[in-house]
Every structure is written in C-alpha cells, then in structure tokens.
C-alpha cells in the first residue's frame, strides 16, 4: 500500500488560502498517524482498494481530506477544516472499520485521538488527530439516526 500524501489529502485545495502553514503542519501530523495505522491494518490482513472517485484511499469526491472553511460539508470547525481529519474509503466492506474498533489502543498509540462511530459512516472510516469534547474515542458525529447497523465489535 502506498502512503497517503499531502497532495492527495489536500486534493483540489492544495493551493487554497485556507490551507495555512498551521493547517498544513497539522495535516502532515495527521498523515503520519493515518499512514502508520493503515500499515498496521494491512500487516494484519486488511485489504484496501482505491476509491475510484479520488484514485486514492480517501473517500468521497474531493472532500474526504482537507476542506476549506467555506466548504458546506461538515461543521464550521470540523477536523477536516483544520487539517486534523480524514475519511478512508471502505470499498471492500467494513473490514477497516472493524479492525479500527478492535485495535483502538494501537490507533491511539499512533496518534489517532478519535474516530466517528461506524454506524454513521457506512462507506468510510473517519479518523482524526484531535480529541472530541466528550472524551470518547468512538464518537457520534451528529444528531441524525444511525445510517447502518452496529458492527459486531460494537455489540456488548
């Protein structure tokens, strides 16, 4: 697996004024943590496939990595808009989400501080390098109902 680059993460916003030096630095830290996690997951047998829209491991159509401040996707202070969040495509099922749930201490040791609850992210895994206010590692991103059932690793 080829690591995710800053150019891939920034996508169409690589030269956008909102990708400040501070956010670029945060993005570099994020990618170091995410690439370490991806390498661990791959070593454990998780297979990844590139998103056909971005031709990378990043989900979506161009907003799964960095987002400028005016982007209507996400909250105004979202981790994506600060260079601290990324969505990894789940085109081969939920294997990566399940691996992340089962390996939270390893993600935390790599520098990942939170992930969105997979019930709200059926086609991607959202990882970020900043903690959320609740203090929970796996957090619910908004007040909408879940978009899919819980994974076996989420069952009591």
Q: Write out the chain's pLDDT in tens, 156 residues.
A: 789 999 999 999 999 999 999 999 999 999 999 999 999 999 999 999 999 999 999 999 889 999 999 999 988 889 999 999 999 999 788 999 999 999 999 999 999 999 999 999 999 999 999 999 999 999 999 999 999 999 999 987
β-pairing, 124-128 vs 114-116, is antiparallel
CB 1 within 8 A of CB 39: yes
| Domains of the chain and any CATH numbers | 6-154 (3.30.1380)
- DSSP assignment letter at 75: -
The tokens for 26 are 């945060």
Note the pTM of the prediction, 2 decimals: 0.96
């Amino acid at each position: 697996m080829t690591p995710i680059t800053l150019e891939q993460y920034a996508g169409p916003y690589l030269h956008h004024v909102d990708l400040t030096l501070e956010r670029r630095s945060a993005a570099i830290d994020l990618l170091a943590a995410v690439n370490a996690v991806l390498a661990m997951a791959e070593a454990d047998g998780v297979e990844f496939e590139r998103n056909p829209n971005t031709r990378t491991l990043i989900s979506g159509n161009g907003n799964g990595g960095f987002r400028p401040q005016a982007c209507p996707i996400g909250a105004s202070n979202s981790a994506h808009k600060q260079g601290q969040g990324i969505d990894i495509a789940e085109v081969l099922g939920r294997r990566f989400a399940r691996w992340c749930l089962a390996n939270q201490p390893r993600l935390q040791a790599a520098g990942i501080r939170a992930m969105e609850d997979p019930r709200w992210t059926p086609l991607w895994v959202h990882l970020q390098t900043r903690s959320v206010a609740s203090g929970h590692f796996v957090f619910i991103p908004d007040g909408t109902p879940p978009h899919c059932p819980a994974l076996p690793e989420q069952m009591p």
